[in-house]
Amino acid sequence: MKKIDESKNGVEKSNGNEANAERKIPIIQTLKPKKRYTKLERELIEATKAVMDAIARQQNAKI
């Protein structure tokens, strides 16, 4: 079982016997989604998705 060592913000620590058990959690995993977004925030989210779709199109890639 793994737990977050709060004294080392963002560092995952095992309480097992694994050697070198500490490793960094990617920062993106520490970003917590809000339960509710404002209207402007929702618009920002949708506009960002649309731009990411555009970037994907430029690269002939799919999301």
3-state helix, strand, coil in the chain (%, to 5): 40, 15, 45
Binding site for other proteins (CB under 8 A): 9-10, 24-34, 37, 40-41, 43-45, 47-59, 61, 63
* Cα dihedral across residues 34, 8, 18, 20: positive or negative: positive
Residue 38 CB, nearest approach to other proteins (Å): 9
Looking at the Cβ atoms of 3 and 34, the one nearer to other proteins is 34
Looking at the Cβ atoms of 3 and 24, the one nearer to other proteins is 24
